[in-house]
Amino acid sequence: MKLRTIAHSRTGDKGTTINVSLIVFNPRHYPLVVRQVTADRVKAHFVELATGTVIRYELPLIGALNFVVHGVVGGGVTRTLALDAHGKSLSSALLEMEIDGDAEMADC
């Protein structure tokens, strides 16, 4: 299932570093995203866009994960010629990630 089924996302940038949040709609889905949406998976998901490290921060009280993506190709908002200079579409791109949650969703 796609992440957009159980979560929403926001993003922002600071030069070549982008913040991407993932917030579950239902707190019962938080353990599922913690297990499956790792920093390594996010880095692989953005492989053509990010050359640096990806750091994940867990925010269990609000059912969210925050990813800091370093080394964004193109130099960030002040230097890139990309159509989405602020990287706002990355939140939608993250929500396209597929996770295995069919069995766990049956309990919800």
Please give the domain boundaries of the chain with CATH numbers for all domains.
Answer: 3-93 (3.30.70)
Query: pTM of this prediction?
Result: 0.76
DSSP string covering the chain? -BGGGTEEEEEEEETTEEEEEEEESSGGGHHHHHHH--HHHHHHHTTTTB-S-EEEEEEGGGTEEEEEEE-BTT-STTT---S-TT-TTHHHHHHT-B---HHHHTT-
Backbone φ and ψ of 42, nearest 5°? -65, -40
**Percentage of the chain modeled with pLDDT above 70:** 75
Band of residue 67 on the pLDDT scale cut at 50, 70, 90: very high
**What is the per-residue pLDDT for 41?**
95
Band of residue 107 on the pLDDT scale cut at 50, 70, 90: low
